[in-house]
Chains A and B, each alone.
Chain A
């Protein structure tokens, strides 16, 4: 597994802490949802960046009161075919206004990068090293976007309107 952020393979600043283990001082940590919910108040007062690993079958709206204290939310893809994390990511970014790091974990593969970026993820625990190396190339694959999403890119529909009547089609096909 390699961590990709800003298009580069980087070292992970965060430490995952088991539910029973004591929290290390002043080190960025990721705790489980269970521990987070149980100890949210104490965790929010702790010195050091706080992250939570949130399962994909739990509503992210539960995190609303704590979003200001969270530096990172890790959303899991137990199988790459299980796409619930995309909805959670967009809700966090677009409806709940989360501005911290959104990390994709689990079965994270090359052909999902484009969708993950568009859904608002900016940190990726990539399963295969070759996929991590191909990250920049993969996300540059498309230049046209049909739907508005968390990445804020301008859609084809809006670009057409901006271009005005510049190129009204004539030919058929």
Chain B
């Protein structure tokens, strides 16, 4: 955990006071809605179909148990008893009253939380690997860099009114679990031949109506230059990004129109002016931030304690969950546990206040008081002793977050869709629920293996449909909901955008189509171990297209 000090706390409190004043001026009519809009947006407050929505930042997806309890409290006191975890590792509440927003924010501020820059044309929450600090394949903890960047861009005087929003992700592991290449700016740590570490800088990724994967503009950036280089990218974008058309305002369009090379040249020219200035990160500054990440006082344990094997033999349910939801930890005797927020019949990413409180208690008991949020909209307990897994499983199962479907077909990423969102063209949640119902049989899900279904209710692509192994995009045709299906998208280190398989299908046929695609895969795969997405890559989409449209 990063520990807030007096500086961090003061800033959050001052921000709440400022927002309280802004809400008062809006309620009195001193501010027009047009003037209030960017102010509320920069505090994570949207106006949705039915009510205001409050999005709360969870920097790089790390939560303490006290913070999770406060999220439960806000859900209970100001909302309808639940919250929705998002693909940007944040949480949002969909039923907040404007007049109560300052109080909700003050409550969040009491545990160092806020909605700053979770919306608006500024730098958004910095995201990273939800296994940061515990993954066996990482070079170092990416959150130190995410925190340095978070502080640097918080209330940044120059970058609060950019052409459009700006999303940054940081990765330091061999495997990309943070969907780096779909970010406006992504940093990936590498170790070079001399054993030095430095960041690969990628820019111009993003989904929406014009999807692009980020392009590398600097293969190896020295760590001391991270902030100055990020500043140069942001300044170049702020000055030259398009402001004439909201759909062409993201940095991906600028990078595309200028070309990555020309863009990199602009950035470099700006960077030369500032790289040796106040933003140069001397090691003491990095160490100061790194020193405020507290790590658990792990016990000296060994991997695979005998009681674990016995418990697996004794209970098939536990064994299935172990095989699906538990991953290797970098410390011997510990494990990383994923809590599925995708139960059959549920809304992907939703958690009730009761569940959040219970998970906070379990984190205290079994995970050194720490919880993570992943971009797949699941939660993680990052430091669980392997010997505690049977007891933890029973407790998680009791509150409905132990469905062993992590990374399987029913572990669906979904935006809120037309049920909540004023931008949506079509519903997302009921589509996700119907697919989960069709694949109710967990043996079938396991046989299908890793299969990411991502659903967006409109072209803005909050459900990351372009990078779903199966992507589903809701569109509107003559007042009716239709869905485009793409195959072969990936958000990992081999990121790819999915290919459209054919004409959009109506709402009530989407789950049938997914079943057809799954059946086609089972026939087409070379062997049971060949992942769905690898089969698609090998065969192309043609055999899937034939199968889906043969009877339609």
- B14 close to A (CB within 8 Å): yes
Q: Are B288 and A86 in contact (CB under 8 A)?
A: no
Indicate if A149 sits at the interface (CB-CB under 8 A).
yes
Q: How far is the CB of B370 from chain A (nearest CB, A)?
A: 8
Residues 69-115 (chain A) with a chain B CB within 8 angstroms = 80-84, 86-88, 90-91, 94-95, 109, 111-112, 114-115
**Are A81 and B3 within 8 A (Cβ)?**
no
**Do A173 and B285 have beta carbons less than 8 Å apart?**
no
B64 and A172 contact, CB distance less than 8 A: yes
> Which residue of chain B has its CB nearest to the CB of A117?
B157
Question: Nearest chain B CB to A23's CB is how many angstroms away?
Answer: 31
Cβ of A157: which chain B residues have Cβ within 8 Å of it? 151, 285, 288-289
Known contacts A148-B279, A160-B5; decide if A141 and B17 are in contact (CB<8 Å): yes
Distance between Cα atoms of A116 and B158 in the complex (Å) = 8
CB atoms of A173 and B64 under 8 A apart: yes
Cα-based distance from A161 to B18 in the complex (angstroms):
28
Q: Which residues of A contact B154 (CB under 8 A)?
A: 146-147
Cβ 8 A contact of B292, one of A115, A141, A146, A169: A169
Residue of B nearest to A78 (CB): B243
**Complex CA–CA separation, A171 to B66 (angstroms):** 11
Given contacts A84-B239, A160-B7, A171-B3, contact A143 B14 (CB under 8 A): yes
- Asked whether A149 and B288 contact (CB < 8 A) given A130-B30, A141-B18, A156-B151, the answer is no
Q: Is B239 a contact partner of A173 (Cβ separation < 8 A)?
A: no
CB neighbours (8 Å) of B291 from chain A are 168
* B121 pairs with A81, CB closer than 8 A: yes
Bound-state CA distance A160–B2 (Å) is 15
Q: Knowing A146-B151, A156-B151 are in contact, say whether A83-B18 is a contact too (CB < 8 A).
A: no
The interface stretch among B159-167, B185-193, B430-438 is B159-167
Counting chain B residues whose Cβ lies within 8 A of the other chain, the interface size class is: 35 or more
Contact (Cβ within 8 A) A84 B5? no
* Pairwise interchain contact B161-A144, C-beta atoms closer than 8 A: no
> Is B160 touching A159 in the complex (CB atoms < 8 A)?
no
Which of A84, A95, A109 touches B238 (beta carbons < 8 Å)?
A84
Given A142-B11, A143-B14, A173-B3, A80 contacting B161 (CB threshold 8 A): yes
A173 touches B111 (CB 8 A): yes
Task: Count contacts between A and B, CB distance < 8 Å.
Answer: 126
- Interface residues in B108-125 by Cβ distance below 8 A to A read 111-112, 121
**Least CB separation from A141: chain B residue:** B18
Contact of A83 among B15, B67, B161, B274 (CB under 8 A): B161
A143 CA to B121 CA, complexed, in Å: 23
Interface residues of B in 438-476 (CB under 8 A from A): none
Q: Does B477 contact A (CB under 8 A)?
A: no
**Closest residue of chain A to B279, judged by CB?**
A148
Query: Once bound together, how far apart are the Cα atoms of A74 and B432, in whole Å?
Result: 54
Kindly state whether residue A33 has any CB partner on chain B within 8 Å: no
Whether A63 is near chain B, meaning CB under 8 Å from some CB there, is no
The residue from B11, B66, B112 contacting A144, defined by CB atoms under 8 A apart = B11
B532 to chain A, nearest CB (A): 41
Q: Please tell me if A30 contacts chain B, counting CB pairs below 8 Å.
A: no
Q: Give A57 Cβ to nearest chain B Cβ, in Å.
A: 8
Distance (whole angstroms) from the CB of A167 to the closest CB of chain B: 7
Give Cα A116–Cα B382 distance, bound, in whole angstroms: 42
* C-alpha gap A119/B274 in the complex (Å): 15
Q: Is the C-beta of B47 less than 8 angstroms from some C-beta in chain A?
A: no
Question: B287 — nearest CB in chain A belongs to which residue?
Answer: A161
Is B155 part of the binding interface, using a Cβ–Cβ cutoff of 8 Å? yes
A119 to B284, CA, bound (A): 26
Contacts of B284 in A (CB 8 A): 161
Asked if B161 and A119 sit within 8 Å, CB to CB, the answer is no
Which residue of the partner chain, among A80, A91, A118, A168, contacts B157 with CB atoms under 8 Å?
A: A118
Q: Are A144 and B10 in contact (CB under 8 A)?
A: yes
Contact residues of B between 281 and 314, Cβ < 8 Å to A: 284-285, 288-289, 291-292, 294
A51 and B155 alpha carbons, distance in the complex (Å): 30
Please give, as numbers and ranges, the residues of chain B lying within 8 Å of A119 by CB-CB distance: 157-158
CB-based contact A111/B14 at 8 Å: no
Question: Is A167 within 8 A of B162, CB to CB?
Answer: no
Q: Residue-by-residue, is B1-43 near A (CB-CB < 8 Å gives 1, otherwise 0)?
A: 1011111101100110110001000000010000100110000
* B→A interface (CB under 8 Å): 1, 3-8, 10-11, 14-15, 17-18, 22, 30, 35, 38-39, 64, 66-67, 111-112, 121, 151-162, 235, 238-239, 243, 273-274, 277-279, 284-285, 288-289, 291-292, 294, 369
Please give me the 8 A-B residue pairs with the lowest Cβ-Cβ distance, nearest first: A83-B161, A118-B157, A169-B3, A148-B278, A156-B7, A115-B157, A144-B11, A86-B158
Task: Identify 19 residue pairs between A and B in the complex whose beta-carbon atoms are under 8 Å apart, listed by A's number.
Answer: A81-B161, A83-B158, A84-B238, A86-B238, A87-B238, A87-B239, A91-B235, A95-B273, A115-B157, A115-B161, A119-B157, A141-B14, A142-B15, A148-B278, A157-B289, A159-B7, A169-B294, A171-B3, A172-B66
